[in-house]
A and B are shown apart, each in its own frame.
Chain A
Amino acid sequence: DIQMTQSPSSLSASVGDRVTITCRAGQIISSYLNWYQQKPGKAPDLLIYAASSLQSGVPSRFSGSGSGTDFTLTIMSLQPEDFGTYYCQQSYSAPWTFGQGTKVEIK
């Protein structure tokens, strides 16, 4: 199984801040990396697929980058509604595995 490791596990940032979350894969996964946002008590929402493609309807302040083993999710200007937990997921080989999550809090 491909292990996915996110950092940090949690962060607290102010509205307007630039936020960066990192995801590292245990082996090369090309660009088969996806990002989700989950709010408490809700299902996850797809934000980014194929490492850098923005899902339809997702605000442009979200962006993804990386390939190989190292990936980044960036929120350019944090908004109050961006609180929640963010997960990366590899779609390179089964079983499709997720990172442990990064909890984002608004200061």
Chain B
Amino acid sequence: EVHLLESGGGLVQPGGSLRLSCAASGFTFNNYAMSWVRQAPGEGLEWVSAIGGSGAGTYYADSVKGRFTISRDNSKNTLYLQMNSLRAEDTAVYYCAKDPDYSNYFDYWGQGTLVTVSS
């Protein structure tokens, strides 16, 4: 059974940094692209970043480009999102999501981790 478990969320001041993790199990992790998708309180879904199975290709939404870095450690079956220069508008639940076959949609999602950027 596929399982994705995010961690690392919390309260951070504007301008601060945070690193999210997503532990994956139940599938061959390095065979699949992974993404981060976020949802601000009471709002819709926003794709944030994606990474290929080998980690070679990375992609970002314009809203986070230059501030966020996606990475993965395939030996640990773990996806990461390093978030720097955080802004109030980055406040959201962050989900990691699995891409079934490099088709750029998401067949499995984690339960999410809340990031709150506030002073």
Contacts and interface: CB of A to CB of B under 8 A. Distances in A.
Interface of A: 1, 32, 34, 36, 38, 42-46, 49-50, 55, 87, 89, 91, 94-101
B45 A46 contact: no
Given A43-B109, A43-B112, A99-B44, A94 B104 contact: yes
Interface in B94-119: 95, 100, 103-107, 109-112
A87 B44 contact: yes
Given A43-B109, A44-B109, A95-B61, A101 B104 contact: no
Residues of A contacting B: mostly: loop
Given A94-B59, A95-B61, A95-B62, A46 B44 contact: no
B109 to A, nearest CB: 4
B73 interface: no
Nearest to B6: A43
Contacts of A55: 107
Given A34-B106, A43-B111, A89-B47, 15 more contacts: A43-B112, A44-B109, A45-B109, A46-B105, A49-B103, A49-B105, A50-B103, A89-B45, A91-B104, A95-B61, A96-B35, A98-B44, A98-B47, A99-B44, A101-B45
A46 B46 contact: no
Residues of B contacting A: mostly: loop
Interface string B44-56: 1111001000000
Contacts of A87: 44-45
Contacts of B106: 34, 36, 44, 46
